[in-house]
Chains A and B, each alone.
Chain A
């Protein structure tokens, strides 16, 4: 069953057409990895999935609800779509626990005690139980990104979107974030991951799509895409990044 359906999605920024007609289904429980050169539109596609970017044309359905419909209650839908950003975007004026509990309290109307328990459980899961009272600026990049993942998970989303979650990290911190994501995948979380981590794509992805110049050029299993890319553009991209 497709939880996300994208049809003929186009996005223009002024004259620049960043997405030029995307069709895509994401199945429940699937881990979809999106790769491609920078400027290919993969981040824009991901940001359209929770309507942080408004599509210029086409439709996006989430559980049968058309997100491009003006009457759709976007905040409600976004509760079910977690997102992790390249630059973490933790709230610097809130400590780690508050970062996680804020939306639980204000959006879900949860009680303080209950929200805190959710936060502690998730912080333990991402290995940061000792940082409950720390402020974001006191954490390393890898720790911040793990808090950001915990914050998104707290809302109990049905889908998690990852927008180059390790691109802003020092190399030695990439591993700890990928390991949290690997755990999530193993638990069966539906994930759409835009990444430059080809090893991670190969190992965790159920399906890989390769984008170039605003279009999905090729899609297939990681096995097929990485071992036997059919499209010449996929091939040249992979030789460039895999060396």
Chain B
């Protein structure tokens, strides 16, 4: 017990980092996801193809591998690009060996990953709106873009809240994978404290408890938001 109390500030920092990365990942993921989701529904074959590639690649490969690609793969790529530019044009991109900060790599890999899942959530949400809504909007002279913006998306957003909450919870747990690049979030914090104290059982149980508190709070928040959104405009009278 003493060990945990002593480690509380460190745990607090770990929780903060985990929440920060998750928020950034899903926040940016929503932007990528909206683009990806609309792309999957585009009339243009090329856009549809690109969006499908993105979603399939990300959802079909492990996040762990994606983190490795960003953190270890990208610097190599940048280095080769730097060498090419030096030899061909004499342009110097980097003075020292290119390196990606763990935080930047964490945000990039997690947000791109989240974006693919959110894209599918958006696509499903948009497709769940009855066809008649789009038709009514078009029949009033709206362009497809206006119809999407004023009629389809606002309705889709309400239906998207629960699955988006699930994505948030999934991402929160998956950020524990960032230990492999040494980013200090909650799981890495646990590792570091164990290295000092040699009490793996208590520490990992406490780490698990902290994750549980966060995930349960999020699902409560989602339930609450869902009810709030449900009241406005969707009276069940």
Contacts and interface: CB of A to CB of B under 8 A. Distances in A.
B133 A91 contact: yes
A138 interface: yes
A91 B139 contact: no
Interface stretch (B14-22, B178-186, B215-223, B228-236): B228-236
Interface stretch (B51-59, B104-112, B150-158, B189-197): B150-158
B155 A107 contact: no
Contact of A50 (B130, B139, B155, B236): B139
Given A91-B133, A106-B150, A137 B140 contact: no
A91 B151 CA distance: 7
B150 to A, nearest CB: 6
Nearest to A85: B132
Interface in B113-154: 130, 132-133, 135-143, 146, 150-151, 154
Contacts of B237: 137-138
Contact of A107 (B135, B140, B154, B233): B140
Contacts of B235: 135, 137-138
Contacts of A81: 139
Contacts of A103: 137, 140-142
Given A137-B236, A137-B237, A155 B140 contact: yes
Contacts of B233: 92-95, 135, 137
Nearest to B131: A89
A89 B237 CA distance: 18
Among A50, A93, A102, A148, chain B packs the most CB atoms within 10 A around the CB of A93
Interface residues of B, number: 24
A152 B139 CA distance: 8
B139 A106 contact: no
B133 A102 contact: no
B99 to A, nearest CB: 48
Interface string A90-123: 1111110000001100111000000000000000
A146 interface: no
A82 B139 CA distance: 6
Contact of A151 (B132, B140, B142, B155): B140
B150 A78 contact: no
Contacts of A82: 139
A92 B139 contact: no
A87 B137 CA distance: 14
B132 A75 contact: no
B237 to A, nearest CB: 5
A224 B142 CA distance: 40
Contact of A78 (B133, B138, B154): B138
Please name the 6 residue pairs, one residue from A and one from B, whose CB atoms are nearest each other, closest first.
A79-B141, A89-B136, A103-B140, A89-B132, A83-B139, A93-B233
5 contacts: A91-B151, A93-B158, A93-B233, A107-B140, A137-B234
Interface of A: 50, 52, 74-76, 78-79, 81-83, 85, 87, 89-95, 102-103, 106-108, 135, 137-138, 148, 151-152, 155
Given A89-B130, A137-B234, A137-B235, 10 more contacts: A75-B142, A76-B141, A82-B139, A85-B135, A87-B130, A89-B136, A103-B137, A103-B140, A138-B237, A152-B140
